[in-house]
Structure 1
């Protein structure tokens, strides 16, 4: 049975238009990108099969576009559409930080770090530079490491803050293991950075550790 033979009110596209994308399951959202299923399977059944064998959804979408080509039902067109959609989401979130609005919701910054760093196979340390009104100036990946660590140099962070004339900064790094709990080393480097930045009158607002689930905010933990 093909999707066009489903009752109109049950088809994923029609439900999305009537009730919004949030009402669709992972398989239904993926089916919209697949467009059609394989012999004997509609697009939703095909999507369920892909997720059952290669999911969950985030694990599937963390794959490079080229790797998606090896999965059943995901040809070049579907793989490109999926990664284009992910990049659109990243740019939409970045646009909210880049259009001159003051950053008043810390969770939005945490989500931005998660979008940029989650799923990377190695540890990356990044900075979001802000002006005196906490408007975004720039986002930079400053240090790259291995699967379990990245060496952070406070002097370089200070130098980049001065280059951007930043008044405040939010930092973040990912844990490829998926565990977002900050280590003792994470807390130690945060303290060193806060002290170094204070010498040039730059406030360290938060340090996010990105893993599976919501990123961990050190400011929320009371460690800043």
Structure 2
């Protein structure tokens, strides 16, 4: 096993590099400093990105204080310019938004009318047939909406595989399928 002392990322064996381990084993297999290193992207001439990430986390005593760091505080650290600081702050903000996201602001379907009301404005003026699925959680809240197929003027052919694939991917408890009937004029 190589140590991080003055070893650059390119000197690491391929299977020990953070990006490659992320691809093979997933993000949960990486330490905090390895995840921060991926966000930073590169180190400096004097130290690898892993060393820079370690130093950054040491400066802020881990992720807990890093989440409150300012652009100015980050750019004071040698090796962290404005671009790297912005990448870090953007990642922190995404995490903050995900953590504060509640399911209470999701639209709830209690009746067929609720489903129709949710979709009607988007579907009524389309020039082609659209097959749309709403994927719901156990509380009948919409967790995802997807146009599965766009057909011709008066037909929309959909394979069930396409409907269920997304349901499984989203761990949906139920599905509502809808399509618009395109009115034709003679």
TM-score normalized by structure 2? Answer: 0.48
Structure index of larger Rg: 2
TM-score normalized by structure 1? Answer: 0.41
